[in-house]
Structure 1
């Protein structure tokens, strides 16, 4: 299996049900994968650029795991992109990331019905993905269709049944993610 790098962009996994469950399931199923939990590595949001670039260099498959935040990535992951995906490293004539696969794995708080042309947001999930596809194009990465799960929100966190439902949804998400990683890393 190729080298797998999973970058967790959740700003506080300690408060997460779904993203924490997904990462734990993936770590159990793919112990060879490198999982970089940005919230614990960089609680002060000061990245070790060399370490982050070296992790990307080693990877054949790059997974961004995150909660959909304001129709994109959380600030922690966005800042990492800004500071690590530099010209000359991630893109440009001396870029080093070409040929790697990029897979997005994310959860949304709103239900799937909200992400329809006639839904609350008036846009589908696919409508929000062009910036990611463009990042992949710029960096010569192979953009893989994302794995996502809608309807995992903070509502009902005090309700044990709701938490268990979210964990079940997260385990299902993790199973789909693991299968996709195995497929593209073969």
Structure 2
């Protein structure tokens, strides 16, 4: 929860200043009035400024962002939120869930990146976001694990390095993890995002 303290000649002015700093509407925040403010004698002497504390829930903002995206896309899905310490998952389900996945998860990955950007904007502490749709992440992990093990066998048989297609970081991590304890091959990543890829190399 991100909080800022703002002051003004009155409560409304203090709130307006806080909203301007956060670039959000009044409906998106929680407001606590710390000091009501007080006009001084003749409106000049002995006055006190109003002070308010405005807080905003970054996870709620991320969820609102996703709801707006889904609505604009016109897809029929539901969003479930799961929070565990500094990790938050948004799970999509429904008849149009495949439209949010896209080819090889490209749409889902792009949406996850944008959601992380939105969340980071409203928090000072690291919170990791994961988006999933119809258990796509789990199925993709199983596919990549099988692929990694099969390509490891080919690399051993041929004695040559095998390069995989470019992948996002979490997919590369799956491949590295799948072969982390392998005694006959090693893995490393090559290239620059978004074209970074994994190489499976036989230990010679």
TM over 0.5: no
Which structure is higher in RCO with an 8 Å CA cutoff and minimum separation 6? 1
Name the TM-score class by shorter chain.
under 0.3
Q: TM-score, normalised by structure 2?
A: 0.24
